[in-house]
Amino acid sequence: MATGQQLSGYMFEPESVPDADEEVLEEREQRLNQDVSQWCSCGNCRTVPTEEENVCCLEIPKVIRRLHQLPEPPSCMVNHPGLEPVCLNVFSLQNVFNLYRANYGPIRLRGIEHRYRYLAYRSFVSWCWGFLARRVRVVLPACVVLRIRQEFPDEEGRYVGFRPALN
């Protein structure tokens, strides 16, 4: 090092470049104030309470990939012929519950509808994303969340919504 030069922290780190993910998040942050037709491409979404959850199935690459595995892809994930047997069929969810309990222990949720909703969300994630690490969570498309809630409603309308993982 030449005399007179000083090293400073982060001197050799590359400069920050805005992430494409940050731009997508900024766009989603405005969705509560927009008409759903401005961000939903499938026609089955409705605005949900949090900005982060206002996302269409046709915006998520893993979901799009699942849709395009069919010779004639449906216009929305809720119309995919695999959604019912994988995520909405109570017999499949009972089996998923047994597998979950064997791997993670007992599950404490209020009522059978809450249990089925929880397992349906997990089944959808597994179906589209595969295995995710313990603290990795993903936002599900609004149309799919609404379809699962329609199938397994909470009588009091108490839905948790997306919660980021705690570190």
Residue 92: CA count within 13 A, CB half-sphere: 16
| Amino acid symbol at 70 | L
Q: What percent of the chain has pLDDT over 70?
A: 81
pLDDT at 86: 96
Cα torsion 8, 11, 13, 16 to 10°: value is: 100
- Here the tokens at position 61 are 């690459």
The set of residues, in sequence order, having a beta carbon less than 8 Å from that of 113 and lying 6+ positions away, is 152, 153, 154, 155
For residue 64, tell me if it sits in a domain.
yes
Q: Quick check: is 127 in a domain?
A: yes
Residue 47 lies in a domain: no
Residue 51 CA: distances (Å) to CA of 31, 67, 154: 6, 24, 21
Rounded mean pLDDT of 38-52? 91
The arithmetic mean of pLDDT across residues 145-150, rounded, is: 96
> Is 143 contained in some domain?
yes
Of 5-9, 14-18, 36-40, 147-151, give the lowest mean pLDDT range.
14-18
C-alpha to C-alpha distance for 103 and 7, rounded to whole angstroms: 51
Backbone torsion region of residue 5, taken as left when φ is above 0, otherwise alpha when ψ lies between -120 and 50, otherwise beta? beta
pLDDT of 153 reads 94
* For residues 75-88, average pLDDT: 97
Higher pLDDT among residues 60 and 18, named by residue? 60
73 vs 24, 120, 140, CA distance in Å? 25, 22, 19
Highest mean pLDDT among 13-17, 30-34, 92-96: 92-96
> Residue 3 domain-assigned?
no
Q: Where are the alpha helices (DSSP H) in the chain?
A: 20-28, 61-67, 83, 90-104, 111-129, 142-151
Which pLDDT does position 101 carry in this prediction? 81
Identify which has the larger pLDDT, 107 or 96: 96
95 versus 111: which is more confidently predicted? 95
Cβ-count burial 123-135 (b if 16+ within 10 Å, e if not)? bbbebbeeeeeee
> Mean of the pLDDT values across residues 137-147?
95
Q: 5-23: per-residue pLDDT in tens?
A: 565 554 444 444 445 556 5
Q: What is the pLDDT of residue 6?
A: 60
Residue 163 counted as domain residue: no
Which residue range forms the structural domain that includes residue 84? 55-151
Is 14 a domain residue? no
The answer as to whether 8 is a domain residue is no
How many folded domains does the chain comprise?
A: 1
